[in-house]
Structure 1
């Protein structure tokens, strides 16, 4: 059996940093190089080498098939975003045909079969695709969702066997919609973010420039392709900037997180990899009991360790540095960023080499209240998320819509060529967040000397007796108690029996003794009281109960809804 050789990091082709008019041009140019995508199994063994040249050939064939089926300019094609060559070529094939690919999530371990079918059906109703294409392995669930929505469904093996008669492909325009990206938040009212070719390529140019992605860089990734960080940052960007990449499937990372670091260590020249905070957290926890870090891993070439997609926690980053410094990992490699699908991907990026920088901010400044001088000041560490991308304007505004000064907290707004075109078929929602070219991100933060600091999400804020409380602060406080992990706690506001608002905390409980559960509940309540100064509702729930978004982030809004409706049932305590 011939040993597979991964695509190279360098080649003779001149590098172009995403300076194309359309993504079709970007694929055409990348296909002239020897670079491409490399897919690995659960243990990191190379399974498939997929040069951009081969991806383009397959994509052109898919475009001919779609056109032969009557699918073309402006039609939506829903694609289950499994990490593999099939999705990569189908996504590009849709764009060559003038159709809009719509990446949709794979099933997760949360919620079960029925929940996945319902979620998919709702997103299909929103996108209104001409066809849903999916891996044969999940045909039963995806076909059920397609049937529920009255949409044609087909597994991609069957699709690939269809005839691909030669026909003229439409010419893409920079202002054409390139794809629809569904946010990973609520699936009850999903919003399809419409991204044009121009917006996509400008964002790819911007973050490649801000991060100084070089000609010989190589990327390793486990991020899902149905999330903007995985799709745009770890697939489309690598095509448009001609970078080779090594992939693990997301579910393989979930089972064996350290396989990600093994992948980085084994592939010479791997210099870039990105993850939300929880990815670094779980790796640091898994390695804590092992002593062979320097023998097993070599992270010395890891130049940019991107952080994004959720709140960046400096304690987690420090734990990762402590765990992997002996393997050559440098704290300066951390590259915090801030972005959202509505801005294609990135809004701000930390300049390379500056690492994690934090500011300690008084709790009263965060909550907008006057400090009680009888109590000692409390502080929260806020992470610096970097500077705006080229041609991106960032502004902090108050409730009156006026811009705030440095270090004044308000709503984060941004404006630039990579801001979305619209929410698909939802003019009302579009008008709510796009005002005179400016995008209301829905996040709270402040600027300081050209750097952006993100404080939290406005809609998650808990407001009790006129005082603002960030759920992240409450969740973090509980996580400091022994036995809890990041993601075990969800905090939100509920109405008590006397009609007043109170913080509620749902906590994964791994204790079976009823009396021990009572002690644990009281300990949590005391901890939250120390943080908020108020009594709270504490409910212990079974492990793996708290809902997550398709990208793995905790969904507080859904947790609250499930709790109030009785879908999340608290564990019994001793009488």
Structure 2
């Protein structure tokens, strides 16, 4: 059996940093190089080498098949975004045919078969696609969702067996919609973000320039392709910037997270690899009991350890450095960033080599209140998320729309060529988010010397008796108690029987003894009271109960809804 050889880090073709008029031009140019995609199994062993040239050839054939199936320019085709060559070719086939690909999630992040079918049906209803194309392994669930929506459903191996009559592919215009992206929080009321070719290429150029992507660089990723950081940052960007990449499936990372670091260790180039905070957290926790870090891993060539998609936790980053410095990991490799699907992906990126930089900010400043001088000041470490991409403007605005100065907290707004075209078929939501070309991100933060600091999402803020509290502060306080992991706690406000609001805290409980549970509840209540000065409702719930978005982030809004509707059943501490 011939040993597989991964695609190279370098080749003779001159690199072009995403300076193309359309993504189709980027596909054509990448296909002239020897680079490409490399897919690995759960143990990190290479199982499929997929050069960009082969990907493009397959994409052209699939484009012919889609057109033969009746798909026309401007139609939507929904694709279940499994990490592999089939999705890669189909996504590119859609753009080559002028069709809008709509990446949708796999069932691994949902509670069960019925909830996945429900979720898929809602997103299909929003996107209104001509067809849904899916991996054969999930045919029953995917077809049920397609039937419910009334669109055609087909497994991709079946589509690949159909004839591919040659036709002339339409010419793409930079202002054409390239794809629809559903944000990770899209559940009950999904919003499809329409991204043009021009917006995509501008963002891909911007973050490649900001991170100085160049010769010898190689991507490594386990991020899902239905989330903007995985799709845009770790798939489309690597095509448009001609970077070879190694992939683990997201579900394989979940089972064996250290396989990610094994893969980085085997890379002989300069590694570009990204993760939300929880990915670094789980690796540091897994390795904490092992002493062979230096023998097993070599992380010395990890040039950019990107961090985004969630609030960046400096304590977690420090734990990762402590755990993997013996393997050559450098803290300066951390590259915090800030972005959202409505801006294609990145808004700000930390310049390479500057690492994690934090500012300590009084909690009263974060919440907009005045400090009680009788109590000691409390601080939260706020992470610097870097500088705006080229041609991206960022402003911090107050409640009346006034632009705030440095270190003044307000709503984050951004403007630039990579801001979305619209929310698909939702002009009201589009007009609410886009004002005179500026995008209201919904996030709160401040600027300092040209750098952006994010403090939280405006809609998550808990307002009790006129005082603002960030749920992250409450959750972090509880996480400091022994036995809790990042993501074990959800904090939000609820209305009590007397009509007043109070903070509620749902906590994953791994204690089985009833008396110990009561003691734990009281300990958590005391901890939250020390932070907020208020009593709160503490509910202990079974592990893995709190809902996640498709990108793995805690969904506070969904947790609150499920709790109030009785879908989350806390342990009965009176029993």
Which TM-score tier does this pair reach, normalised by the shorter chain? over 0.9
TM-score by length of 1: 1.00
TM-score by length of 2: 1.00
Q: State the distance in 2 between where 1:45 and 1:108 align.
A: 22
Partner of 1:282: 282
Partner of 1:88: 88
CA apart distance, 1:215? 2.2
| 1:58-137 pair list within 5 angstroms | 58-137=58-137
| 1:90-489 pair list within 5 angstroms | 90-489=90-489
Q: State the distance in 2 between where 1:529 and 1:340 align.
A: 33
Classify the secondary structure of the residue corresponding to 2:6.
Answer: coil
Q: State the distance in 2 between where 1:542 and 1:207 align.
A: 41
Q: State the distance in 2 between where 1:271 and 1:186 align.
A: 31
Matched-pair contact (CA < 8 Å) for 1:514–1:572: no
CA apart distance, 1:110? 3.7
Matched-pair contact (CA < 8 Å) for 2:273–2:304: yes
Partner of 1:5: 5
Classify the secondary structure of the residue corresponding to 2:505.
Answer: strand
CA apart distance, 1:356? 0.2
Per-residue CA deviations over 1:131-180 (Å, capped at 9, x if unaligned) read 00000000011001111111110000000111100000000000000000
Per-residue CA deviations over 1:440-497 (Å, capped at 9, x if unaligned) read 0000000000000000000000000111100000000000000000000000000111
Per-residue CA deviations over 1:403-450 (Å, capped at 9, x if unaligned) read 001000000000000000000000000000100000000000000000
Per-residue CA deviations over 1:67-102 (Å, capped at 9, x if unaligned) read 111102100000000000000000000000100000
Q: State the distance in 1 between where 2:439 and 2:572 align.
A: 46
Classify the secondary structure of the residue corresponding to 2:302.
Answer: coil
Q: State the distance in 2 between where 1:259 and 1:527 align.
A: 37
Q: State the distance in 2 between where 1:458 and 1:431 align.
A: 18
CA apart distance, 1:193? 0.2
Q: State the distance in 1 between where 2:57 and 2:271 align.
A: 28
Structure 1, unmatched stretches of 5+, are none
Per-residue CA deviations over 1:545-571 (Å, capped at 9, x if unaligned) read 000000000000000000000000001
Q: State the distance in 2 between where 1:150 and 1:29 align.
A: 38
Matched-pair contact (CA < 8 Å) for 1:307–1:335: yes
Partner of 1:539: 539
Matched-pair contact (CA < 8 Å) for 1:76–1:129: yes
Partner of 2:517: 517
Classify the secondary structure of the residue corresponding to 1:303.
Answer: strand
Structure 2, unmatched stretches of 5+, are none
CA apart distance, 1:267? 2.1
CA apart distance, 1:298? 0.2
Q: Flag the 1:186–1:56 CA change in 2: closer, same or farther, 3 A.
A: closer
Query: Is 1:53 matched with 2:53?
Result: yes
Classify the secondary structure of the residue corresponding to 1:502.
Answer: strand
Classify the secondary structure of the residue corresponding to 1:271.
Answer: strand
- CA-atom RMSD in angstroms: 0.6
Q: State the distance in 2 between where 1:284 and 1:113 align.
A: 32
Classify the secondary structure of the residue corresponding to 1:242.
Answer: coil
Q: State the distance in 2 between where 1:111 and 1:326 align.
A: 39
Matched-pair contact (CA < 8 Å) for 2:216–2:270: no
Q: State the distance in 2 between where 1:463 and 1:574 align.
A: 30
Matched-pair contact (CA < 8 Å) for 1:220–1:270: no
CA apart distance, 1:270? 4.3
Matched-pair contact (CA < 8 Å) for 1:22–1:201: yes
Classify the secondary structure of the residue corresponding to 1:443.
Answer: strand
Deviation beyond 3 Å, 4+ runs, structure 1: none
